[in-house]
Each structure stands twice: as C-alpha cells, then as structure tokens.
Chain A
Amino acid sequence: MSNEIRLHGRGGQGTVMAAGILAQALAEEDKWAIAIPTFGFERRGAPVSAFLRVDDKPIRSLTNIYHPDIIVCIDQTLGRAVNIFAGMADGATLVLAGRKPASEMNLPASARRLGLVDAVSIAMELFGRPITNSVMLGALARTTGIVSLAALCRAMEESHFRDAGLAQNLTAIRRGYDETQVSTLKESCHAHA
C-alpha cells in the first residue's frame, strides 16, 4: 500500500512539523515514509506545503508530489490564496479544517472522501492560538486510517515538545481524531464550474 499526501498550511502553523511527526508515526508502524517540505523565505502567514510519500517498502524517489491521493489543509482560509486541489488524483481523500458544511465548500468533483473538523476552534480552546497542525494529524488518522492514533501520540512524545506543551498537543491529536466528521462525497457537494 502506498499513498502520496500533500499538506497545506500557512507559515507558523506547523505544517512542515506535522509532516515530520507523521513520518515518525508511520515509521513507528514499520512503514517507510519520506517527507519533503516546499521551501522559501519562511514567513509567518505565507502559504506553505509539505509532501509525504508512504509505502510498505523503502522509498527511493526524493521528489515532490504532483498528484496527491490525500490532501490535508490545516488552514481554513488557504483555499482563497492557493489552489489546494491542484493535480489531485481521482478518488482522492480530503482532510480539511473548516466550519462550513461540505455542501458549501466547492470541492472538486473527483474527490471521494472528506474528513472535516473545526480545527481552529479546538486550537483556540487548547492553545489560545490557531495552531492547527496536531488537530489535523488526528483528523488525518480518523479520515484515512493510514496511521493509528496511538502511533501519532508516540511520535508526538518523541518530538521536541515536553510537559504542558506535549500534553496540549496530545489532547489536540485526540480531539482532532474524535471530532472529525467523515463523509463519502456525493455529487451535491461538488462544484459544477
């Protein structure tokens, strides 16, 4: 089994860190993963993305991802700035932060599965800031099943977070997992351009 995942966010929200923790969690489950961030002059608030390839066997290609079958967007306003669905593979799974119902989200017609979570509200409650990366890792686990909640938590414990920060992020992962609404996308949700 292999997947190509693209994560979108804004500088400062921890998109690249989320990709690294996800790679660690996948390794915990004895899978092979490569995570590569896109790069630039890092600025808070600027659109950033990261690519993650996962497989049951070692991965050789160190390239970006152009046709993701899983798209994760951790910022609910980013869709106004960049096309987060560019190059999306048919039948892709979307894991999105947002408050609006799927029917109001103008999603691409060929996407087949959606995980939706009000990540900003959870992050504001937990951190007092809209840092949504850990919430969205939980949402990814819930929506796709490619990684377990337990492995994500172990990977978070391996990270640089300690004490209260670690506890908050573990809670964020669990709440993301618990509060994500997963649905199979129907035609009524899709944009007809």
Chain B
Amino acid sequence: MNQLVNSSRKIVCDGNEAAARAVVLARPDVVSVFPITPQSSLVESLSQFVADGVLTAELINAEGEHSVLSALQGACLAGARTYTATSGPGLAFMFEPYIRTPGLRLPMVVSLVTRDMLSPQCVWGGQQDAMTVRECGWIQVYCENVQEVLDTVIMAFKLAEHKDVLLPVNVCHDGNYLSYAVSRIELPAAEMVDGFLGEPDVNWHIALDPDRPMAVDPLTGGTGPGGAASFVGYRKSQVRGMANALEVFSDIHVEWGERFGRHWAPLVEEYRLEDADYAIVTIGSMTGAGKDAVDAARERGEKVGLIKVKTYRPFPRDAIIAALGKVKAAGIVDRSVSFAWDCGPLHQDVMTTLFASPHRLALVGFIGGLAGADITSEHFQRVIELTAQAARGDVSASPIWLNEHD
C-alpha cells in the first residue's frame, strides 16, 4: 500500500527526546517553552531542533508557564498548530490559562512530564500533578514506554484537531522512569507522519483574522435574556466533544496501526485477561513491570491478567466495565492520591464506573511510585497476591502503600 512503510529508522533516546522528535514530525507552527524538572531536556531538545533547522516552528522562550500557555492561546486562535510541555510546579503556575483552554476549544497538545506535587519538597516523578488537573476539561492520556510517547504525541494532534473533539490534549509520560529512560525505538519517516496528520486545520471555528473580525469568548451566562441558554450550549458542546474523544481516538489508533504497524490499545489494554480470575489495573510506565509480574505469576499457575488504562480523561467507562466484567477481583495501582477519597484517583474512577454495571467484584487499592519511588516486580508480586486473596473473598483494607517500608 505504501512505499514509505519501511523508511522508519531505529534510534535510541529517552522519553523526553521521543516527545520532542514527535513534535518535529507533527510540524507545529508555534512552540512556547519554559524549562522545569523533569521536563527540561524535552524543551532543550526542541530548542536544539529549532537551532539546527530541523524544526521550523516559531519558538517562544517565555518568562514563565503562565505566559507560555497565554502565548499559545493567541497563536492557536490565529490558526497555528501549537505545543508545549510542562511539569508539577510549572503546571500549577500555568493554571489560569490552562483551565480556560478547553472552554475556548483550542486544540493544543501539551505533554505533562509527570511529577509528584509539592510539598513535601521533591523533584521526582509521580502522577499527582496530572491527576490534580484531571477535572479541567483536558483530554489526558498516559504512556507506557518511550515508543508509545512518540507515537501518542503525534496521534494527539489528530485527536485534538478532530472536528468532533476540538479540545486540548495532555500526553502524560512519567517523570524519571519515562522522561529519562533511554530506549531503542522506531522513528517514523516524516512523509509518513505528514500523510497521517494531513494539513493543520485548527482555526475554522474562531479565528484572530483582521479580515474576519469577531469577538472571541464574549461574556456569557448570568440571568439576562438567553444568558443561561448560551452558557449551557457551550458547556454541553464541550462535554459532548469530550465524550466523542473516545471513539475518535480509537479510530485514530486503528489508522496508526495500519500505517505504522504498531497497534496500541487506545483506551484500555487487556493483557492475558481472557481466562483470568482476577486482574491488576495499571497506568503509565509501571505497566511493563506489571506485565512481567503477570507473566511470572502465570508460570506459577495463577490466573491473573492486567488492565492498562491509557485514556484517562474522558474516562473509558464502557471499556473498563467490559474488562472488569471478566474477573472476580481487581487490584488497582495508582501513582498518586485522591485526598478526598483516601484512595488513588484511578481507584476512585473504577469504583464510580462499576456503579453503572450490574457486575460486582472485590477491589483492592494500592498506591506506589510516589516522588520517584520504584514499583518493582516484587511490589507487583505483592499486588497480585493480595488481589488473588481478594478473589477468594478475603479483601484487604485499602489503600495499601507499596513503598511504605522502602
């Protein structure tokens, strides 16, 4: 079908460089950056690519993350394809324009190189930053490995710009374990990515255009005539765009698989789940060690599978219900906490989702990998044992803090 199919090349890089290379392939018009650990090497790579002429985007080194996203909002309104990346405190400083971006229906792609939130003071990975903004209206997807970072950043532009979605996307990759993990990956050919993404088409609904002057984001709502109705109209369409993202992203993954030969599960991956009695649920870079632990347990005769959540916002309710419908118990491993619920955010979402299903199963919640801590095969061994125990009716009290004694 395609003569360029073999023109990808093998490279060795870490997750931050993979994201930067994906950005080069997506050919954005404007990139604005401010460095912050553990994202810094990503924007250093972007700056190098611009300096080398590999990336022809306008690069704005802003004085802080608030300005970074404000500049990109203007660029996006003017019709530019835009990108930035941030992390932890940088995301916090970005919050005011951040929360406004989905309502403006701006199709940006922003990598979150996830980091645990201060305080206690730390500079290491954890998903608390991304999880803190899980209800802001951005699409959020989490990557398992360096190749998935590269592929997903490219796919995210297609998702964000899709007319049935038109929302900003956070592609999350774990600080430390993905940001700095050097791996061998396939770099697709630029022409192939051009064919996949097509021409940028981001300014058809609102635009800063002197020839077509229009008011952007006028005062809406209140109790005046039509105010409530117009606000509800905007909100409803935003919520609908979010819901549409599940199907659109699934279609995009199918097309990616056809064009590039890598078939990622778009929403939820089911691993060795078909004949499983129970499952562990993972998100992000912990998943690889989880799969290895599942394989080891299978060799011992344990009927265990794994459910990996890739798309987290919108939450893939049907896919989660379908996956959990196959098992009697699930052990959910979060890399962050939900302060309101004394459990992990993923655990909370799974509980909420199950209310819509007649199927009941035992859940055990685990929290691990905070502030750069490792989630090893030994930790997963414990997760598997306690989940097996829950499947037999003996359910441990949650949450279980995996690194409590490390």
Contacts and interface: CB of A to CB of B under 8 A. Distances in A.
A62 B177 contact: yes
Nearest to A19: B182
Interface in B152-202: 176-178, 180-184
A64 B291 CA distance: 16
A36 B12 contact: no
Interface in A1-58: 19-20, 23-24, 27, 32-37, 39-41
A190 to B, nearest CB: 29
Contacts of B376: 63-64, 66
B124 A39 contact: yes
A20 B12 contact: yes
A192 interface: no
B18 interface: no
A37 B375 CA distance: 15
B182 A61 contact: no
A62 B181 contact: yes
A61 B288 contact: yes
Contacts of B10: 27
A23 B184 contact: yes
A36 B288 CA distance: 14
B374 A32 contact: no
B180 A37 contact: yes
Which size bracket describes the interface of B in this complex? 20 to 34
A80 interface: no
Nearest to B179: A39
B123 A41 contact: yes
A64 B376 CA distance: 8
Interface string A66-96: 1000000000000000000000000000000
B73 interface: no
Contacts of A62: 145, 177-178, 181, 285-286, 288-289
Contact of A63 (B180, B372, B375): B375
B51 to A, nearest CB: 13
Nearest to A58: B184
B292 interface: yes
Contacts of B38: 39
Nearest to B125: A39
B377 interface: yes
Q: Which of B123, B184, B287 has the most CB of A within 10 A?
A: B184
A23 B183 CA distance: 7
Interface in B36-94: 38
B179 to A, nearest CB: 9
Contact of B177 (A23, A27, A36): A36
Nearest to B124: A39
Contacts of A19: 182
Interface of B: 10, 12, 14, 38, 123-124, 145, 176-178, 180-184, 285-289, 291-292, 372, 374-377
7 A-B pairs closest in CB distance:
A60-B288, A35-B182, A61-B289, A27-B184, A24-B12, A62-B177, A23-B182
10 contacts: A19-B182, A23-B182, A39-B372, A41-B123, A59-B288, A60-B287, A62-B145, A62-B181, A62-B289, A63-B289
Interface of A: 19-20, 23-24, 27, 32-37, 39-41, 59-64, 66
